[in-house]
C-alpha cells in the first residue's frame, strides 16, 4: 500500500490501511489516521493532523507554513477530520500564533486548486469550488456551498446552508440559509433547494423567509430588524442562529 518512491519521515505516525502513492512527501511531526488514500505528488508537511478515510488527490499540499509575515515559526497545526475529498492542488496552511491551528471538519469536498489559509475553520459537509481562496481566519459553518473562483476576505464568517455564486468577491459576512451573488456581493434570496434537501419544513422555511424580509426588505436598520424578529417570527434554533450570527458579526453582513 506504500510506494517505494514515497518519502516518509521516520517520526511520522501512519495508521492502518493507508495507501501512499509515488513521490508523496510526508514530513516529521505528522499524524495520519486509518484508511486514507494519498495519491502521487502529495505533500503532507510538519504539523499536519489527519483523521480517517480521507482522499488526497495529486498535488495537494497540507500543513505548509502560513503565508503571513507575522508567522515566526511557532508550533502550529493543520487539522483535517474524516472522509474528506481533497482534490488536485488544494493547499491547506497550518495556523499562526493567532489561533494555533487551521481546521477542516468531516465529509467536505474541496475542489481543485482551492486554498485554505492560516487559522481558518471549515465545518463539515461543505462544498468549496475550484480555485476559491479563503484568506486567514475565515470561518465556514457546516453545509455551506461556495462556488468556484470566489475570493473570501480575511476574518469573514460564512453561515450554514448558504449558496455563494461563482466568481463572487466579498469581505462581509454571509448569514445562514441565503444565496449571495452579484458585484458587490448581496443577498439574493433564500437557499430553498439546500433547505429542502436538509428536510426543513415549509413552515420553518417561511419563518426564515419572514426573518430575512425584516432584515433586508422592511427598510429597517439591522439592529431594529433583529429586535423585531422575536416579536414577529416564531422562535426556533434556526431563527436564533440567524439572530446570533448577525449580532456577533464583526465585519457586518452583505446588503
Residues known to be catalytic: 118-119, 136
CA 252 vs CA 10, 60, 186, 214: distances in Å: 48, 33, 12, 16
Tell me the CA end-to-end span of the chain in Å, nearest whole number.
51
- Residue identified by cell 508550533 is 75
| Residue in 76, 158, 167 with CA at minimum distance from that of residue 123 | 158
Q: How far apart are CA 183 and CA 249, in angstroms?
A: 21
Residues in contact with 242: Cβ distance below 8 Å, sequence separation at least 6, in sequence order: 175, 176, 177, 208, 211, 212, 229
Amino acid at each position: 500500500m506504500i510506494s517505494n518512491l514515497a518519502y516518509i519521515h521516520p517520526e511520522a505516525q501512519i495508521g492502518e490501511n493507508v495507501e501512499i502513492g509515488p513521490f508523496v512527501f510526508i514530513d516529521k511531526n505528522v499524524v495520519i489516521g486509518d484508511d486514507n488514500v494519498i495519491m502521487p505528488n502529495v505533500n503532507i508537511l510538519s504539523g499536519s493532523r489527519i483523521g480517517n478515510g480521507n482522499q488526497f488527490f495529486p498535488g495537494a499540499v497540507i500543513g505548509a507554513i502560513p503565508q503571513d509575515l507575522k508567522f515566526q515559526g511557532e508550533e502550529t497545526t493543520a487539522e483535517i477530520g474524516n472522509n474528506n475529498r481533497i482534490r488536485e492542488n488544494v493547499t491547506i496552511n497550518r495556523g499562526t500564533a493567532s489561533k494555533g491551528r487551521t481546521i477542516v471538519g468531516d465529509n467536505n469536498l474541496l475542489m481543485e486548486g482551492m486554498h485554505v489559509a492560516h487559522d481558518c475553520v471549515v465545518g463539515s459537509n461543505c462544498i468549496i469550488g475550484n480555485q476559491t481562496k479563503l484568506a486567514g481566519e475565515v470561518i465556514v459553518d457546516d453545509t455551506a456551498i461556495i462556488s468556484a473562483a470566489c475570493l473570501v476576505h480575511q476574518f469573514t464568517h460564512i453561515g450554514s446552508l448558504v449558496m455563494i455564486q461563482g466568481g463572487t468577491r466579498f469581505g462581509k459576512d454571509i448569514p445562514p440559509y441565503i444565496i449571495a451573488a452579484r458585484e458587490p456581493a448581496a443577498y439574493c434570496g433564500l437557499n430553498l433547494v439546500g433547505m429542502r434537501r436538509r428536510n426543513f419544513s415549509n413552515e420553518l422555511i417561511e419563518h426564515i423567509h419572514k426573518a430575512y424580509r425584516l432584515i433586508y426588505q422592511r427598510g429597517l436598520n439591522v439592529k431594529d430588524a433583529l429586535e423585531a424578529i422575536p416579536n414577529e417570527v416564531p422562535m426556533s434554533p434556526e431563527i436564533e442562529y440567524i439572530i446570533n450570527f448577525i449580532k456577533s458579526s464583526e465585519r457586518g453582513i452583505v446588503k
